[in-house]
Structure 1
């Protein structure tokens, strides 16, 4: 079990099960063997009778490892064909924008997807310079293309497992609204893909498909300048002129991810005093310190994974990093170290609502059920409505598109917000924009985001938070997702009367896939991860660390009871 606490330093502290390798560079013998990984992608064939080897869309696409036969050529073939069927069923006939990150399995998965998409005659837009393409650049391209259109709508695919370990691969689908696909869409694609898996590789090989060489030369495969289209538009969401004139010294670590070519372009285009601390692209990610469990993850919200940038915190006015597909961010300041994502999101909301006068006054603040209660207190102070949804950025896409949401954020460091004129930017998470906003905030206010957060806590309360994580089998994850209010036998939580037990989110009444228990000065939520074989317990208290630990202990007892008998 790992436990991460929000505190002034941003350093995760925790239980005895934290790996002795956490926060340290691993020796090369512990790095992923890329050759064997790619060989397994082509040679291992999933068994659809084994649940773990089927296509399964979590909170953000299908992810897995070729070593475990959970992300292989057959999976990508099946998903790609299923996406083609979905487009045909829905009448989506505009271009498909495709992005790819720097994971070792992303290149072969991209080749497989291109073979299918070209074989089906899709108009496919790929990066003009052959560079990697961040998730937000794909969302930006879709939204830009579809603005004002009612026909010929575009959609997109991103080949990425996000911040997951180097032996993972992933693929996700973004429909014409530009954000992560809704559950109804992914359920349909998942069902179709698993039917194809059951039909076997021989059947799939007879379906429309061309060689990758033919696919790349096809008249329907066209270059698109994701990089410059995105970079040239940044001044419409962040005050880039202010960043330039302030001379603020910023630092960025792309963590070897898809934005590695974007940051130099941003520096050149806007003449920023921004140091890129590392430009390495290496599919082993051997330059990354290990995460809490001793595995490498490119997670900018993890103090273990971010040790490299945290060590440089005094070299910059503000520094930041993004994950592998650049849809998550981590903010580092000299005073606070690595800011917990909830802390930075609270500071972001307060700053943006004060300094974006063109934003619609009725636009709400989007948060997930595991976001800080401080966001609710701040929204009340600002006179804005809270829109609270289950974990997953897909729940925010429609609101960002029609500007009924001003800003939306997840506890896992995924955020997006409206342009300066109050219209849609992207409908998926964007790691680059909140990173640059940290500089704007400091340039305008003279305080870094950590100091701005502390100022807010003086008026609204100073919570402490923690997140526990532990490995879980599919059966255990299913048992946890099925938790109901009657599993909570106590009427009190850490000494306070329980006010509410939620299994559905207040904002949209959607199941949260677990439960949340709330009292006046604290809450906890328990749910399985939608992206990795683990479960998570989140807790927050406004009465200090002792109260938080009491709250988490009671939460753990409920989870332990739920997992009894589940294998």
Structure 2
């Protein structure tokens, strides 16, 4: 923990926004350097113009590659495009529009020249493709320009195909490989033109006006609860006022500032400015405004993550809120399919497993990455999908798809519905879950690893782990593939009756991540973490 974590940012913490944007145009990447190539992680290509990993040429190449990919896939409808409030997002959108228009792609941008949250863009794609008349004009897809909660100097670029969610690895690998080919050829095969033929689309109204199909605003309004919403300077900034005015609820936007340097933020755990609504350090300024609200919420820069603050418990742990949301939704959505599963990533809390069992619902456990939930959300076989990193989405009241990307605005509104309908805060409801199922201790830590060790961990088979016990309990499972869909998890997960750990290599640092949980308390968790490192190190040789 950095000594200044949770304290206000000072002038020395802020980026030079003008220099960052200049570097976007002036600095050129060298594709022979791995760190300067196009690399798609779980949420698109990310980097900074300062270190030549997110520059104009990257966006030229990626956009041309997306054009060629969608053509090869037979996607002929409009492409929705939106950007968040990061400083590099606007210039990246301008670059992308140049390429899209030159390739005769029908492009729809925000009619207010406003920021576009990730869930609003996913919603737009799905709404178009679910309308037979619109679909007859061709399937739609989209581009979201955001590095999510990453620091202000970063940029991000993500492709959402016609299913509306994050592209799968087959698509992203093809796009990244083609983009790097274009970069290596000095972008000579990239088409560019002035973006004159661009259509306007009202992302905000289309999203906000449809929220009544998934959230019980009547209950919220009639309860009279006071709600505070902090966009954390992100893309949801104008959406919250629209939600208030549309549904007549008592909601205050506690911070309407947009500043690409994020000078109003408090520093995250490592001393960096990071718009993570699940981090107590990053949310310290929000917590200072908690008095007087029954529910106070925060979102990250593209509003795909949520943070829930209650008067009785402060900022909720994301795992705790996911468990409460699942318990509430599956008992308050009678039109959902009776066999609709509960989706969770395998590093999310086992409290969810116990809630699922008590509900008589199938648990669908998948690797890290929201893309795995997409098919189930579309066909209704998975009614809720959630990640431990405060990202989730769920179905409409009638059991049909809402978004296939994470929706932080939705999960924040759900907290108010829960409070209005039950008369209890989500944190009070979690305390009741603890009384029924036990009180798990959960933590993520990092352990040093060489690039070779990280590669070996990513390929590790559960059977290669020789241990038979973990922290005094017999090991019941050694997993290298997720139970829900048998997809490789890029690491291992080891389980006992009361504890588990998962180890995965970091995509950006020379470490591997250890997620661990114990229903026997913090001291037992510490033993689990210690033994987890020994088990993994032994398996890696």
Deviation at 1:559, TM superposition (A): 5.0
Q: Residue 8 of structure 1 aligns with which residue? A: none
Deviations, residues 400-422 of structure 1 (Å, cap 9, x unaligned):
11111111100001010000111
Asked if structure 2 preserves the Cα contact closer than 8 Å seen for 1:59 and 1:530, the reply is no
Question: For 1:432, which of 388, 409, 412 is the aligned residue?
Answer: 409
Question: For 2:145, which of 147, 159, 166 is the aligned residue?
Answer: 159
Distance 2:337 2:345 in 1: 21
Question: Which structure 1 segments of 5+ residues have no match?
Answer: 1-17
Asked if structure 2 preserves the Cα contact closer than 8 Å seen for 1:479 and 1:562, the reply is no
Deviations, residues 228-280 of structure 1 (Å, cap 9, x unaligned):
11000111100112111211001111000000010111111111111111011
Distance 2:540 2:26 in 1: 35
Structure 1 residues 167 and 449: alpha-carbon distance in aligned structure 2, compared to 1, 3 A threshold: same
Asked if structure 1 preserves the Cα contact closer than 8 Å seen for 2:29 and 2:37, the reply is yes
Asked if structure 2 preserves the Cα contact closer than 8 Å seen for 1:63 and 1:531, the reply is no
Asked if structure 2 preserves the Cα contact closer than 8 Å seen for 1:505 and 1:511, the reply is yes
Q: Residue 229 of structure 1 aligns with which residue? A: 206
Question: Which 10-residue stretch deviates more, 117-126 or 44-53?
Answer: 44-53
Q: Residue 500 of structure 1 aligns with which residue? A: 477
Q: Residue 282 of structure 1 aligns with which residue? A: 259
Q: Residue 122 of structure 1 aligns with which residue? A: 105
Distance 1:337 1:477 in 2: 36
- Is 1:321 the equivalent of 2:298? yes
Distance 2:506 2:273 in 1: 18
Structure 1 residues 357 and 424: alpha-carbon distance in aligned structure 2, compared to 1, 3 A threshold: same
Structure 1 residues 477 and 112: alpha-carbon distance in aligned structure 2, compared to 1, 3 A threshold: farther
Distance 1:477 1:341 in 2: 27
Q: Residue 174 of structure 2 aligns with which residue? A: 188
Question: For 1:60, which of 43, 48, 56 is the aligned residue?
Answer: 43
Deviation at 1:536, TM superposition (A): 2.2
- Is 1:298 the equivalent of 2:275? yes
Q: Residue 410 of structure 1 aligns with which residue? A: 387
Distance 2:116 2:127 in 1: 16
- Is 1:78 the equivalent of 2:64? no
Q: Per the alignment, in what secondary structure is the counterpart of residue 286 of structure 2? A: helix
Asked if structure 2 preserves the Cα contact closer than 8 Å seen for 1:55 and 1:75, the reply is yes
Question: For 1:97, which of 80, 91, 112 is the aligned residue?
Answer: 80
**What does residue range 313-392 of structure 1 map to in structure 2 within 5 Å?**
313-392=290-369
Deviation at 1:563, TM superposition (A): 7.8
Structure 1 residues 282 and 561: alpha-carbon distance in aligned structure 2, compared to 1, 3 A threshold: farther
Distance 1:328 1:558 in 2: 33
Q: Per the alignment, in what secondary structure is the counterpart of residue 438 of structure 1? A: helix
Distance 1:420 1:540 in 2: 33
Question: For 1:264, which of 210, 229, 241 is the aligned residue?
Answer: 241
Deviation at 1:551, TM superposition (A): 0.5
Asked if structure 2 preserves the Cα contact closer than 8 Å seen for 1:56 and 1:62, the reply is yes
- Is 1:175 the equivalent of 2:149? no
- Is 1:491 the equivalent of 2:432? no
Distance 2:7 2:446 in 1: 20
Q: TM-score scaled by structure 1? A: 0.92
Structure 1 residues 562 and 451: alpha-carbon distance in aligned structure 2, compared to 1, 3 A threshold: same
Asked if structure 1 preserves the Cα contact closer than 8 Å seen for 2:5 and 2:268, the reply is yes
Asked if structure 1 preserves the Cα contact closer than 8 Å seen for 2:447 and 2:533, the reply is no
Structure 1 residues 238 and 99: alpha-carbon distance in aligned structure 2, compared to 1, 3 A threshold: same
Distance 2:540 2:235 in 1: 38
Structure 1 residues 408 and 228: alpha-carbon distance in aligned structure 2, compared to 1, 3 A threshold: same
Structure 1 residues 487 and 478: alpha-carbon distance in aligned structure 2, compared to 1, 3 A threshold: same
Distance 1:30 1:560 in 2: 37
- Is 1:512 the equivalent of 2:509? no
Asked if structure 2 preserves the Cα contact closer than 8 Å seen for 1:299 and 1:305, the reply is yes
Question: For 1:467, which of 424, 441, 444 is the aligned residue?
Answer: 444
Distance 2:395 2:461 in 1: 36
Deviation at 1:532, TM superposition (A): 7.2
Deviations, residues 466-518 of structure 1 (Å, cap 9, x unaligned):
11146877656434423333553321111111111111111111111111111
Question: Which structure 2 segments of 5+ residues have no match?
Answer: none
Asked if structure 2 preserves the Cα contact closer than 8 Å seen for 1:465 and 1:539, the reply is yes
CA RMSD of aligned residues (A): 1.7
Q: Per the alignment, in what secondary structure is the counterpart of residue 115 of structure 1? A: helix
Asked if structure 2 preserves the Cα contact closer than 8 Å seen for 1:60 and 1:531, the reply is no
- Give the count of matched residue pairs: 538
Distance 1:474 1:55 in 2: 19
Structure 1 residues 430 and 47: alpha-carbon distance in aligned structure 2, compared to 1, 3 A threshold: same
Question: Which 10-residue stretch deviates more, 279-288 or 44-53?
Answer: 44-53
Structure 1 residues 265 and 534: alpha-carbon distance in aligned structure 2, compared to 1, 3 A threshold: farther
Q: Per the alignment, in what secondary structure is the counterpart of residue 315 of structure 1? A: coil
Asked if structure 1 preserves the Cα contact closer than 8 Å seen for 2:465 and 2:536, the reply is no
Asked if structure 1 preserves the Cα contact closer than 8 Å seen for 2:78 and 2:139, the reply is yes
Q: Residue 111 of structure 1 aligns with which residue? A: 94
